[in-house]
Amino acid sequence: MSRIVLKAILGFVMRVLYRPKVEGMERIPATGPVILAGNHVTFIDSLFLSLVVKRPVYFIGKDEYVTGKGLKGRAMAWFFTSSGMIPVDRDGGHGGVAALMTGRRILEEGSVFGIYPEGTRSPDGRLYRGRTGIARLTLMTGAPVVPFAMVGTDKVQPGGKGRPHIAPVTVRFGAPLDFSRYDGMDRDRYVLRAVTDEVMSEVMELSGQEYVDIYATKARAA
């Protein structure tokens, strides 16, 4: 119920202010598990994705977003969980495994799982090398991957912080990718890299971003 209320209220406001343009919505399967994999340029990408997709979309998020104290902490927890975020401690030694298993559970329940293969927001607007968690998920579950691109959200919230600006936004979906030809090969690192790179290539075509073949975390640290 909280998801419906949030989507109705916030969705109305964002549609009036931003009038997001959606391309390729029909490419998202109406039923069954599906992975939505796209670029990540600013904090509000997940909000726009959840608002334009008709089916509920679930994401992995830092547990610190829902563990705040007081009224503000409870309000933030309600907002993020109502938006489809599932909190996971990603900073611990087993954070990556926990995130992977959570995504697997969501897909095995027949739901939609949203993921940013870059692993973090782009530090400069370019598209960075994808991490192979996306490949493990699709090979373990058999769920198709629908690539998507957020275009313009970096103008709405430059740098990923501060008060959002009014700017045009386009959410573009590509054709579903089927990797059943690699069935049973989810432990082969060459296959995992090939699948991940294919997904990122599709995202690059949809977004028009310049591609950089290093991890975004390394670029951010530099």
Contact between residue 50 and residue 171 where contact means Cβ atoms under 8 Å apart? no
What is the reported pTM? 0.89
pLDDT in tens, 82-140: 667 787 876 655 657 888 999 999 999 999 999 999 999 999 999 999 999 999 999 99
Instruction: Work out the mean pLDDT of the chain and round it to a whole number.
Output: 87
pLDDT in tens, 146-196: 999 999 988 887 766 667 778 889 999 999 999 999 999 999 999 999 999
Check residue 110 and give its pLDDT. Answer: 97
Lowest mean pLDDT among 72-76, 110-114, 200-204: 72-76
**What kind and span of H or E run contains 147?**
strand 145-151
* Greatest CA separation for the chain: 51
Check residue 178 and give its pLDDT. Answer: 96
Which residues are CB-contacts of 28 (< 8 A; sequence separation ≥ 6)?
Answer: 34, 36, 53, 54, 55, 112, 146, 173
